[in-house]
Amino acid sequence: MYRLYSHNDLDGVGCGIIAKIAFGENVEIRYNSVAGLDFQVERFLEKGRKEDCLFITDLSVNEQNEQRLDEHVKKGGKVRLIDHHKTALHFNRYDWGLVQVEYEDGRLASATSLFYEYLTQHKLIETSETLSEFVELVRQYDTWEWDRNENTKAKRLNDLFFMISIDEFEERMIQKIAVGGPFSFDEFEQKILDMEDSKIERYIRRKRREMVQTFIGDHCAGIVHAESYHSELGNELGKDNTHLDYIAIINVGGKKISLRTIHDDMDVSAVAQQFGGGGHAKASGCSLTEEAYQLYVAGPFHIEPMRADAFKNVHNCKGSRHGSLYENRQEDTFFIYPLGEDKWVIEENGTKRSKPFSSFEEAERFVKRNHAAWLVRDEVFIAYLKEHTLLMKAVPTEQDDEGSAFILSVYNGYEGESVTLPH
């Protein structure tokens, strides 16, 4: 008898689907949360099932069960733990551990892909084009490669997983794989997925207006409270706000924090580990402990939500050679403009900062991280140029000749083009 204890997300259930295809009625499957696995393992060990083969996929056990499983194997028990989280790499010191974060070609591994390869190598499953495509879709979604590859089929597979029960999802996937041919969604699945796409879009639009930003330790984090669509939300908010190191999605009811990042040099699993959690470098989670609550909920409670950049501008645009104007809730102004090819300057409330930046992106990142500022609308930008030009003409100053000359030239250019100015 085979037994599979796996995670209750798409990657974990993907392992269950493969197990059912490989072993049929000769496998018992239990899907667990991170916290629930150890209870299942303890029950298995208490019953002393030496003849059963236990697979643990997409999850790892605590230190006590790690030792107990090793003793079970030494006494003749059959165990194979297959995982792809770097927090589980220490299991590779056991003969029964198989943990691999990425492949030799640089692709990230998933539990489903590793389990499929293990069964294939040991001739325990018959491969097929449909099954292989299903495994690859799961892998791309779980490692977030689907976003880089624009493989929306992988994302929609995960959407479908959350829209129906696990039993129905398993049944549908096994049936598709049995039929063969290219993996596809049927008419009913397409219809409900289209409806879900619209729902997700509305949800993300609303949550954009609720996110706050603050520093947690050395990292600048965006914090939003949400109960649904954590992966989609983290990805979209991260792409909207590239100056943030990561997005923390708080579920107070579930007492959980989901952590997401779009940056290759940021490892949110290290952040999660501080609160007893873990996961991937770009997608991790942890419990909302008392310490985490103070940092992510109580501390930022009084911070006002972030303001979005103006997005219909014609004149005040990011990286413009005419300069870009930002503002924050304290009504401070930040004018970013170029002086030469590789020199971008920030004027904060009319005073130039001493340190120039080598690119617009670097200057904007500084302004957004340290001052929570946003790109203002065209009319505010033109009014700013007009006000500062009139002031320079009325009260000549030598305080900042370069900056003054730049603003004057930009404003005169707009006047020459007969730009409608606010009164």
pLDDT digits (tens, 9 = 90+) for 196-237: 999 999 999 999 999 999 999 999 999 999 998 998 999 999
Dig out the tokens for 139 from the structure: 């892998």
Give the model's confidence band at 381: pLDDT under 50 very low, under 70 low, under 90 confident, else very high. very high
Give the model's confidence band at 415: pLDDT under 50 very low, under 70 low, under 90 confident, else very high. low
Q: Do domains 2-181 and 207-302 have the same CATH topology?
A: no
Residue 158 contacts residue 146 (beta carbons within 8 Å): no
Question: Which helix or strand (DSSP H or E) is residue 28 part of?
Answer: strand 27-32
Give the model's confidence band at 272: pLDDT under 50 very low, under 70 low, under 90 confident, else very high. very high
Residue 326 contacts residue 376 (beta carbons within 8 Å): yes
Instruction: Tell which CATH classification among 3.90.1640, 3.30.420, 3.40.720, 3.40.50 matches the domain 2-181.
Output: 3.90.1640
Domain boundaries of the chain, sorted by first residue: 2-181, 207-302, 324-416
Q: What is the mean pLDDT of the chain?
A: 90
- Segment 25-40 mean pLDDT: 91
Residue 405 has pLDDT above 70, yes or no: no
Alpha helices in 241-377 (DSSP H): 268-273, 290-293, 360-371
Residue 238 contacts residue 260 (beta carbons within 8 Å): yes
pLDDT of residue 409: 65
Residue 114 has pLDDT above 80, yes or no: yes
Strand order in the sheet with 219-225: 212-216, 219-225, 246-251, 256-260, 283-287, 278-279
- The closest alpha carbon to 249, from 219, 208, 280, belongs to 208
CATH 3.10.310 fits 207-302, yes or no: yes
Which is higher by pLDDT, 112 or 278? 112
pLDDT of residue 423: 39
Question: Which helix or strand (DSSP H or E) is residue 50 part of?
Answer: none
Q: Torsion angle of alpha carbons 132, 134, 135, 136, nearest 10°?
A: 90
What is the C-alpha separation between 328 and 392, in angstroms, rounded?
24
pLDDT of residue 421: 44
pLDDT of residue 411: 57
Residue 418 has pLDDT above 80, yes or no: no
Residue 91 has pLDDT above 80, yes or no: yes
pLDDT of residue 24: 94
Give helix 10-23 / helix 152-163 axis angle, nearest 10°: 80
pLDDT of residue 416: 52
- The closest alpha carbon to 408, from 360, 340, 337, belongs to 337
Give the model's confidence band at 422: pLDDT under 50 very low, under 70 low, under 90 confident, else very high. very low
pLDDT of residue 220: 97
Question: Which helix or strand (DSSP H or E) is residue 285 part of?
Answer: strand 283-287
Contacts of 117 (CB under 8 A, 6+ apart): none
